[in-house]
Structure 1
Amino acid sequence: MRTRRLSKDNTYYALKQKIIDSELEPDQVVHEENLAALLGVSRTPLREAIQRLENEEFLVRQPNGRLKVASVTLKEVEEIFLIRSMLEGYIAKNAARHATEQDIHQLKAMIEKIKYSFQLGASQDFVSYGFEFHDYLSQISQLKTFEKILNQLRDHALRYCRYVTMHGNWNTQADEEHNYILQMIADRNEEGAERAMQDHILSSLTTAVERIRGIQTARED
């Protein structure tokens, strides 16, 4: 039973990661036999993984019964980032209230990784370290319900960020924005931290919308 559970979970996470990383591209039609071969698993854990990903709307069952990867849409990215701006703004406010000196030190270390990846032009690493920074703020905010709701959006947001960086550089202001958020938290400026986080996420939304529109226009030409 334990081996089966691990196999089922590993299949789910592996398939989800391929969607997040756009190894399985938006709107791509997928077949169970091909996915089973790709992941090196049997059909039983694969079907359970597919069902979970359908429920989370990473995979979509079409009227003809075929399965495809969920689309990338302007409407969805706008909704995701607007919700994140509200939730994470309040999370940053509470992180400024509760952060310890050790937390500040940890956040500074994360900022250094973000800066380094930005300087190297390693855009996917930049996205990963940025999410690590955001995740840590959620943990120290002590807002468990906020964190739980945010986790339901996290991987969808990550998918959009990775998709955008595949087609050009990420928001060039993001490096400075992370620094400013950390400064507000270190200064215990709760209102400033909230505004800084909201501005950062809305700035990222602008980048994502512009990039997705550009991708869509290029494909139509």
Structure 2
Amino acid sequence: MAESEALLHTMPPARSADDVYVAIKEALAGNQFGAGQYLREEQLAKSLGVSRTPVREALRRLDAEGWVETRPNYGVRVKAWTLQDAREIFEARLLIEPFLAGRAALKIGAPDLDRLRALADAMVSITRSPSTPESTDAWFAANGEFHAIITAAADNTRLDRSLRSMKETPLIKWTFVTYSDADRERSARQHVDLVLALEQRNAAWAEAITRCHILGAQQAVLGRYADEHRPA
């Protein structure tokens, strides 16, 4: 069995058009398909137990969101993320995320603040131990939940949805792999400070911390990319 077909069999059966879209998107986010790999409608449909129609619609949606690209006369292939993609995602995050953090400071409730504090403390604890694949996964999960709580609390569904779509890309998880111990420690401190800003209902402070937080991640990613692609 070809490698691409074996990967397809790890995807769960789908029940609706939305299920098909989510299943393929999760497979892409989990790097089950390699960059540049062609996605065949017939194989996907067979793996998911559906007709080709919902698969075709899911691929159209994923193309519009930038996960895949359609090549006339060739088919649909997994998008290979580039340095320009990274720059565009960080630019968009800098426009949206600080604004949502500022709004969240004025709206967020006590239960969410308690959860944010617990997540921030957990990330501080992670930085106190050597980095491992397991600790990276734990950091990624805690960080994702942390920021999702804040952007949801801002109560702007459209911006929240746009931001979540950007953060689901494999490129974002790669950000955490690029972090040095110093990067993780800085990021953990910023999480703690952001909780303080939210607790004090200080929108300007929350916006400033979030902006610095994103700029730090941007520097780590673009810096590593430059090092890995430095001319010999």
Give me the TM-score of the superposition, normalised by structure 2.
0.78
Q: CA deviation at 1:175?
A: 1.6
Matched, 1:30 2:39: yes
Q: CA deviation at 1:164?
A: 3.8
Q: CA deviation at 1:13?
A: 0.4
Partner of 1:186 in structure 2?
199
Closer/same/farther in 2, CA of residues 22 and 117 from structure 1, 3 Å limit:
farther
Matched, 1:163 2:174: yes
The DSSP-based 3-state class of the residue aligned with 2:191 is helix
Output one character per residue of 1:26-82: Cα deviation in whole Å (capped at 9) or x when no partner: 322222233335545442322221122122221111133321111212222212212
Partner of 1:86 in structure 2?
95
The DSSP-based 3-state class of the residue aligned with 2:168 is helix
Matched, 1:148 2:148: no
Residues 27-66 of structure 1: pairs in structure 2 closer than 5 A: 27-66=36-75
Task: Determine if contact 2:121/2:192 at 8 Å carries over to the other structure.
Answer: no
Query: What amino acid sits opposite 1:93 in the alignment?
Result: G
Unmatched 5+ residue regions in structure 1?
A: none
Unmatched 5+ residue regions in structure 2?
A: 1-13
Closer/same/farther in 2, CA of residues 16 and 86 from structure 1, 3 Å limit:
same
Closer/same/farther in 2, CA of residues 125 and 11 from structure 1, 3 Å limit:
farther
Whole-Å Cα distance in 1 between the matches of residues 47 and 175 of structure 2? 25
Matched, 1:114 2:127: no
Whole-Å Cα distance in 1 between the matches of residues 95 and 60 of structure 2? 30
Closer/same/farther in 2, CA of residues 125 and 194 from structure 1, 3 Å limit:
same
Q: CA deviation at 1:182?
A: 1.0
Whole-Å Cα distance in 2 between the matches of residues 38 and 175 of structure 1? 41
Give me the TM-score of the superposition, normalised by structure 1.
0.81
Closer/same/farther in 2, CA of residues 83 and 108 from structure 1, 3 Å limit:
same
Output one character per residue of 1:111-146: Cα deviation in whole Å (capped at 9) or x when no partner: 23434555474213322321211111122223x2xx
Output one character per residue of 1:147-182: Cα deviation in whole Å (capped at 9) or x when no partner: 413422423333211234456769423222211111
Moved more, 180-189 or 7-16: 180-189
Aligned-residue CA RMSD (Å): 2.8
Closer/same/farther in 2, CA of residues 162 and 80 from structure 1, 3 Å limit:
same
Partner of 1:9 in structure 2?
18
- The number of equivalent residue pairs is 213
The DSSP-based 3-state class of the residue aligned with 2:36 is coil
The DSSP-based 3-state class of the residue aligned with 1:64 is coil
Task: Determine if contact 1:20/1:156 at 8 Å carries over to the other structure.
Answer: no
Matched, 1:195 2:205: no
The DSSP-based 3-state class of the residue aligned with 1:211 is helix
Query: What amino acid sits opposite 2:195 in the alignment?
Result: L
Whole-Å Cα distance in 2 between the matches of residues 167 and 39 of structure 1? 34
Task: Determine if contact 2:38/2:78 at 8 Å carries over to the other structure.
Answer: yes
Q: Percent identity?
A: 25
Task: Determine if contact 1:89/1:198 at 8 Å carries over to the other structure.
Answer: yes
Query: What amino acid sits opposite 2:55 in the alignment?
Result: L
